[in-house]
């Protein structure tokens, strides 16, 4: 099937304001979906893995299926994946250009490894200590995790793999460092965890406790997000970064500065589904 770059002439209407200023254009690559329940929408935040799929998103004011290729139809639903450029008025997206994006290949194990979290501690001079190789697998990991998360000053927990691992982690768990972070006494926490865990261990300090991050997350999902005029798509806690991940439709400088002033630098990592076109 040919990949067609489609520009819809009528979409250009309204891209210039009454004062003659050019409206900000945004871009996004995602699913466009129309069902019996609603008109065309740009799926943002989530797409249910069903057939036909379901999603939530932003209505598209001027979408025409006859002007694009690559759509699928089933059960009264029409959908397809496109790269869109257009304008957003806070409620609806208006398309200026739509195209079928090129196919993407699945990253290799080595490529995936580049993005894995690094150990929070430098490697010891003699290498990572493995006091008890029989207690460094998934089974003893669960009680260690419970013990760490039960501490009031617990901040985060993650695994840092020392090399690429295959697709079957259960069969080949790989070699990893267990990182556990706290805001308080690291010597005490290490003394408590080491008898429970026989593998490589890093006990590190982070600025914000997990409880504090949970509080920030709840505020962003509620009053704070509304106060800043943000359309929140979702939130999550990044224990490695010691921050709350915030997904919004668009993100501008005013709410960015307000979030930093309220919670401190690095506490909130915001990403926008619609990114400005320079």
Q: Residues 154-180: what's their mean pLDDT?
A: 78
Per-residue tokens: 226: 């509304």
Regarding predicted confidence, which is higher, 105 or 206? 206
Q: Which residues does residue 93 pair with via DSSP β-bridges, in sequence order?
A: 60, 88
Q: Residues 139-162: what's their mean pLDDT?
A: 94
Q: Is the pLDDT of residue 34 over 90?
A: yes
How does residue 36 score in pLDDT terms, banded at 50, 70 and 90? very high
Regarding predicted confidence, which is higher, 49 or 257? 257
**pLDDT at position 2, please?**
38
CA–CA separation, 46 vs 29, rounded Å? Answer: 13
Q: What is the mean pLDDT of the chain?
A: 87
How does residue 5 score in pLDDT terms, banded at 50, 70 and 90? very low
Query: Beta strand 243-248 with 268-272: parallel, antiparallel or unpaired?
Result: parallel
CA–CA separation, 173 vs 179, rounded Å? Answer: 16
Q: Residues 91-114: what's their mean pLDDT?
A: 83
Per-residue tokens: 267: 């506490």
Query: Beta strand 243-248 with 72-74: parallel, antiparallel or unpaired?
Result: unpaired
Q: Residues 106-122: what's their mean pLDDT?
A: 80
How does residue 167 score in pLDDT terms, banded at 50, 70 and 90? low
Query: Beta strand 41-48 with 176-182: parallel, antiparallel or unpaired?
Result: unpaired
What does pTM read for this prediction?
A: 0.83
CA–CA separation, 260 vs 121, rounded Å? Answer: 27
How does residue 106 score in pLDDT terms, banded at 50, 70 and 90? confident
**pLDDT at position 175, please?**
86
For the CA atoms of 131, 133, 134, 137, what is the dihedral angle to 10 degrees? 110
Share of the chain above pLDDT 90, in %: 70
Q: Which residues does residue 101 pair with via DSSP β-bridges, in sequence order?
A: none
What are the pLDDT digits (tens) for 201-244? 999 999 999 999 999 999 999 988 889 989 999 999 999 999 99
How does residue 12 score in pLDDT terms, banded at 50, 70 and 90? very low
């Amino acid at each position: 099937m040919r990949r067609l770059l489609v520009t819809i002439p009528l979409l250009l209407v309204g891209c210039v304001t009454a004062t003659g200023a050019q409206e900000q254009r945004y871009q996004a690559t995602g699913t466009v979906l129309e069902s019996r329940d609603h008109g065309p929408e740009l799926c943002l935040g989530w797409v249910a893995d069903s057939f036909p799929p379901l999603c939530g998103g932003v209505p598209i004011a001027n979408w025409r299926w006859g002007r694009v290729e690559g759509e699928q139809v089933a059960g009264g639903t029409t959908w397809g994946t496109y790269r869109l450029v257009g304008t957003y008025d806070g409620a609806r997206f208006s398309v200026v250009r739509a195209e079928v994006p090129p196919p993407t290949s699945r990253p290799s194990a080595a490529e995936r490894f580049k993005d894995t979290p690094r150990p929070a501690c430098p490697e010891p001079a003699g290498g990572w200590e493995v006091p008890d190789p029989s207690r460094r697998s998934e089974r003893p990991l669960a009680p260690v995790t419970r013990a760490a998360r039960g501490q009031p000053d617990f901040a985060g927990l993650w695994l840092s793999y020392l090399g690429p691992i295959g697709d079957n982690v259960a069969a080949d768990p790989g070699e990893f460092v267990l990182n556990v972070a706290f805001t308080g006494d690291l010597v005490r926490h290490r003394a408590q965890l080491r008898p429970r865990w026989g593998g490589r261990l890093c006990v590190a300090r982070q600025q914000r406790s997990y409880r504090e991050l949970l509080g920030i997350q709840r505020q962003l999902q509620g009053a704070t997000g509304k106060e800043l005029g943000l359309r929140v798509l979702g939130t999550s806690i990044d224990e490695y970064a010691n921050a709350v991940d915030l997904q919004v439709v668009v993100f501008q400088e005013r709410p960015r500065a307000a979030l930093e002033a309220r919670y401190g630098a690095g506490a909130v990592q915001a990403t926008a589904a619609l990114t400005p076109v320079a």
